[in-house]
Amino acid sequence: MREEGLLNYAQAGLVLDVSTKRVSELVRLGKLTRFEFLGRTYVSLREVGDRLAQQIKAGRPKRSLGQRWSTTLKAVAHSDALQFAAEAFPAKARRKRK
């Protein structure tokens, strides 16, 4: 397999628009291959380009409507009546006036 060049972690981070810590995490997860050359660590320019072409977005993927409703119902099931009563009255109305 031919690598088109090597990038250090800082350069790869700039290309992928992530931190150098995230680049090292991608190496640890096996998403990028680590190369050592003259005592320094690098990643493949080809692999970085492939990852950039995938247009992977940051964060969790969006959940479906069913998954969101399921989470809401679980949260409601784990709350108690006192919590609902406290939310029914605004904080200012609960304070005693002097």
Check if the beta carbon of residue 4 is closer than 8 Å to that of residue 10: no
31 confidence band (pLDDT: 50, 70, 90):
very high
46 confidence band (pLDDT: 50, 70, 90):
very high
86 confidence band (pLDDT: 50, 70, 90):
low
Whole-model pTM: value is 0.57
Count of Cβ atoms closer than 10 Å to residue 12 Cβ: 26
1 versus 49: the higher-pLDDT residue is: 49
Mean pLDDT to the nearest integer, 86-91: 66
Per-residue model confidence (pLDDT) at position 68: 82
Q: Where are the domains of the chain?
A: 6-53, 65-92
Check if the beta carbon of residue 7 is closer than 8 Å to that of residue 42: yes
